[in-house]
Amino acid sequence: MEQLQTALSALKVLRSSVGQVFYSLANGIRADHGEENKENKYLLELQELLTTVGTNLRDVEQAVNSLNPPPGPFNLGNTAYLAQETTQDRQALYGTLVNVYKWTDKAHEYSNVAHQILSQNSLKRSSMSSNRAKRSRVQAGAHNSPPQQVDQVMASFDRLYSDMSITITRPYTSNAVIHVTLGHVLKAIIAFKGLMMERVVIKGYNEELDLWTESRYKVFQRVTDHAHAAMLHFYNPNFPELTLKSFFAWFHSFISLFNDPCKRCGLYLHSALPPTWRDPKSLGPYHFECKP
């Protein structure tokens, strides 16, 4: 497995170096080549890039040659019987199962990492017990809340905010994925496990929602970063519903993202960005550079 990982890493480096070659060819002679001997500088740059590609290609060949062929066919379990299907609808089922496995595996990976970070949260609150064992038990109970409780809590938040729509989907597993639409400003997709938020991705209203791909706009990338920080700030294992209520109140304040000026500098834009940071207590808008 380690040899296979080395080969895949070498292949990734090779693809990156080849991409640099095509990037240089697409842009041609640039301003940073200067005015004197710019053609020679450009050719020298291409030569260096191609030399790097050749070196990376040799690394890939060496890594592939060091791999040991499998002793026999891979055991696909009961999925091997799918190849015996004759109907067109069922022949594509194996590809769907592979996608389900990849999605579930990635969701579990993010959930485990998020839970470890939240468990190590050093924020001090009077409501949190100092007993480590007791705190662990409370976290586990809140982390594995039944789907019916999650649906009820989300439905109450949906009724609470008339200009914010909250819907729940469970695409592959019992873990919930929350779609939040905030007016015509932005959308958010939140991965839940029980009543614990695991991952937040915020995008513009017209962008396609995807749990794993960040927004292509810098402003929504900033808001996503602030949302992850807010998850840690409001996190309270003893009162998960209060955590969610505080977080959604904080998120609802972004409905005026492009309308309100910064509370400190009074400007609408700073570094070409609106105030993307919200005070956790007052919910006032601030530029990240101006936050108190």
Residues 6+ apart with CB under 8 A from 210: 189, 201
d(CA 292, CA 289): 9
User: What value does the mean pLDDT take over residues 268-274?
Assistant: 92
In the structure, what pLDDT confidence band is assigned to residue 91 with cuts at 50, 70 and 90? low
Quick one: average pLDDT of 95-111? 79
CATH of 1-66, one of 1.10.10, 3.30.1490, 1.20.58, 1.10.357: 1.20.58
**pLDDT level of residue 127 (50, 70, 90 thresholds):** very low
Helix H, strand E, coil C: the string for the chain is CHHHHHHHHHHHHHHHHHHHHHHHHHHCCCHHHCCCCHHHHHHHHHHHHHHHHHHHHHHHHHHHHCCCCCCCCCCCHHHHHHHHCCCHHHHCHHHHHHHHHHHHHHHHHHHHHHHHHHHCCCCCCCCCCCCHHHHHHHHHHHHCCCHHHHHHHHHHHHHHCCCEEEEEECCCCCCCEEEEEECCCEEEEEEEECCEEEEEEEEECCCCCCCCCCCCCHHHHHHHHHHHHHHHHHCCCCCHHHHHHHHHHHHHHHHHCCCCCCCCCCCCCECCECCCEECCCCCCEECHHHCC
**pTM check: above 0.75:** no
Each domain of the chain, given as residue ranges in start order, spans 1-66, 147-255
Structure confidence at residue 66 as a pLDDT band (50, 70, 90): confident
187 against 78, higher pLDDT: 187
pLDDT band at residue 136 under the 50/70/90 scheme: very low
Mean pLDDT of the chain: 82
Between 97 and 254, name the one with better pLDDT: 254
Report pLDDT for 142: 47
Predicted confidence band of residue 92 (pLDDT cuts 50, 70, 90): low
The residues facing 179 across adjacent strands are: 167, 189
Highest mean pLDDT among 162-171, 226-235, 283-292: 283-292
Pick the most confident of 73-77, 105-109, 199-203.
199-203
Give residue 218's pLDDT.
Answer: 93
pLDDT (0 to 100) of residue 137: 40
**Which residues on adjacent β-strands are paired with residue 169?**
177
Summarised one tens digit per residue, pLDDT across range 22-37 is: 888 888 887 777 788 8
